Chain A
């Protein structure tokens, strides 16, 4: 019974973090999968979201501004607001670029954003990070607190999923895909291509910021290592590619699968001898690359590929 309880608790945390990545990957899917914006600066928006909510909701300290102790809901809205603003500014600057040039610009600006957050000690407490971020329903104790938090994450994920599903199947979504396939053709039919690209970029980045915020509530701590591009940008891209770019269902499933592989593969260390434990950690990173290779070779469109709808 005790063992079962442990696995259940771990399952809850897998689903929680998987769901948070699901939100981030849905944002990326809107940007890349639907509209074709090559954004590899996820870490930047993630960091803005994570720090915004941390500053808004954490208790007072002498190390940085804040101590507002606002409710978590306000923190989440705040993080969406700030990452949206950032995305708007960055989008205005970068979105004139196309393809890989856009990718380089986003990674550059996102790194600048991350470095600012790391170095402005008065704002973010710098490399020490911000501890003591509240987690909603903490006072329920285990396991109910974890279940409640999981439900919050899944609800948000579900709402975003439904909204995006509706959006892509609306005329708006069709224009976005038209932009992805052929911008000039879309422009020639009188669509405001620049404006729409900016819309997709800002909305997608808001979800990335929201994901960062939820993750910092889940960890109750945020520091520069939390927005490391390996665990934000890289992982999110792998999730989308494997799940199926252009398909919301694929994006969410990819997030859950990859997070499970990433996290649960460590349990193998329980059966390995000490000598191999050190190696296992590298093996896990290798495993992700290996899965990516298989999927790219055998199913280049991902586990659930994009559906092409025939509109009559």
Chain B
């Protein structure tokens, strides 16, 4: 057999590659007008492990809507997933396809803050497509020049820093050391904590930025301990540097009291470190888990997906998709400008409250001309003028049985 690539074979190869594209264009026409939403998720890349439950959750929203009579009077809601690869290029490139080829009316995403920024400012904003991110927490996104098109249903790290600073002071701790992981999460949260803590009269005697996944942080810890801090503010991930730092600080008796944020709350951490040593430590995290809406979502998600309930950002992703769908339904059109104009209208009080799984009720209320207010699995989502949600945070301490307990 002659395996040389001739011109003919090369053309055949290219045609083969184009075939699915052509069939896709054709199939779209035959199905009639679908209402299109995009989900810009980091399917590959550094956070790929987190994504499958998020994908399931967005898909659950779409399937609930389609099962309950569809959108805009029986049309099908079609979800297209783009892979942002958690990078700026990937985000912009995938958004280009969603916006131009898939003709989406809105985008759920992106997840990583860099991908969100590039996708929003480079693609979605010029094209007038609204985006709702379920996971980008970088404070810089607050002031993005977004023409009121970029929203998020997860609080900016700036709010958690403020909460944490006040919590630490309320406990009477006036002198702390701080170390944070060197990425957008760590830097953003640390800056917000630093600013708010100092403003309210606290003193940070030493602080350091550390790289994730090193074997030893002992020298950093030795430096951080100088100046007599009462606790160590540790902004890191429990699966990464957070756990190592905590263990080495305890082993070497550098610190015995820690203040952590959402990245540190994991039961695995307690199994490895032990509850006893962390009795005086406390943690903060955005909370919404106690509401009725959240319980409903949990029940539905448990049936829909094989992934665990604890998966982070899955609730937010569901809410983002629901807000976009409700905005389409309320505006009565999948036109992008209409969607944009209705995002705040469907998520803000006052109005009849809509919770996860209540698509049918929402459609009926809208048809009756009533104002609706979506209260989601991850919170009430009262979007402010920058498109941010304030977020509710809770204080967590450890308890026996290796778990966290919310105390406030």
Contacts and interface: CB of A to CB of B under 8 A. Distances in A.
Interface of A: 2-3, 6-7, 9-10, 13, 17, 63, 118-119, 121, 125-129, 131-132, 135, 138, 141-142, 145, 215, 218-226, 228, 231, 261, 263-264, 266-271, 274, 277-278, 280-282, 284-285, 294, 298-299
Contact of A267 (B21, B85, B87): B21
Interface in B70-114: 80-83, 85-90, 92-94, 96-97, 99-103, 112-114
B78 to A, nearest CB: 9
Contact of A263 (B3, B17, B97): B97
Contacts of A231: 85, 87, 89-90
A220 B144 CA distance: 11
29 contacts: A3-B25, A6-B99, A9-B96, A10-B96, A10-B100, A13-B93, A17-B93, A118-B182, A119-B209, A121-B187, A125-B140, A129-B88, A129-B114, A131-B117, A131-B144, A132-B145, A142-B126, A220-B118, A223-B117, A225-B88, A225-B112, A225-B114, A226-B114, A228-B87, A267-B97, A270-B24, A278-B55, A281-B43, A282-B44
A92 B225 CA distance: 43
B122 A298 contact: no
A271 B5 CA distance: 29
Contacts of A218: 92, 122
Contacts of B115: 225
Contact of B88 (A2, A119, A222): A222
Contacts of A132: 121, 144-145
A269 B182 CA distance: 34
B23 interface: yes
A63 B140 contact: yes
B121 A225 contact: no
Given A128-B188, A271-B27, A277-B81, A226 B89 contact: yes
Nearest to B103: A6
A17 B81 CA distance: 21
Contacts of A222: 88
A2 B103 contact: yes
A80 B28 CA distance: 45
A298 B5 contact: yes
Contacts of A277: 43, 55, 81
Given A129-B88, A222-B88, A271-B23, A6 B100 contact: yes
Interface of B: 3-5, 17, 20-21, 23-25, 27-28, 43-44, 51-52, 55, 59, 80-83, 85-90, 92-94, 96-97, 99-103, 112-115, 117-118, 121-122, 126-127, 138, 140, 144-145, 182-184, 186-188, 209
Sort A-B residue pairs by CB-CB distance and give the 8 closest, nearest first: A225-B87, A223-B114, A281-B43, A10-B100, A9-B100, A226-B88, A6-B100, A220-B121
Contacts of A220: 118, 121-122
Contacts of B184: 126-129, 223
B77 to A, nearest CB: 13
A13 B183 CA distance: 30
A266 B87 CA distance: 16
Which one of A220, A261, A280 has the highest number of Cβ atoms from chain B below 10 Å of its Cβ? A220
Contacts of B118: 219-221, 223, 226
B110 to A, nearest CB: 11
Given A6-B99, A220-B118, 10 more contacts: A13-B96, A126-B187, A127-B183, A128-B187, A129-B184, A219-B88, A219-B89, A266-B94, A270-B102, A298-B4
A141 B67 CA distance: 39
A127 B117 contact: no
B103 A3 contact: yes
A14 B80 CA distance: 19
A142 to B, nearest CB: 6
Contacts of A261: 17
B195 to A, nearest CB: 11
Given A10-B96, A278-B55, A129 B86 contact: no
B207 to A, nearest CB: 13
A281 B44 contact: yes
A128 B100 contact: no
A150 to B, nearest CB: 13
B4 A221 contact: no
Contact of B52 (A138, A141, A264, A278): A278
A142 B128 CA distance: 10
A129 B117 contact: yes
A10 B97 contact: yes
Nearest to B78: A270
A282 B170 CA distance: 49
B43 A278 contact: yes
A128 B140 contact: yes
Nearest to A215: B89
A138 B121 contact: no
Given A6-B100, A267-B101, A298-B5, A225 B24 contact: no
Given A220-B121, A221-B122, A225-B115, A278 B3 contact: no
B114 A278 contact: no
Contacts of B87: 225-226, 228, 231
B89 A266 contact: no
Nearest to B139: A128
Contacts of A299: 5
A289 to B, nearest CB: 14
B20 to A, nearest CB: 5
B5 A266 contact: no
Which one of A125, A129, A294 has the highest number of Cβ atoms from chain B below 10 Å of its Cβ? A129
Given A138-B126, A277-B43, A282-B44, A6 B101 contact: yes
Contacts of B97: 10, 263, 266-267
A10 B17 CA distance: 17
A308 B388 CA distance: 61
B5 A225 contact: no
Given A10-B96, A63-B140, A266-B97, A221 B83 contact: no
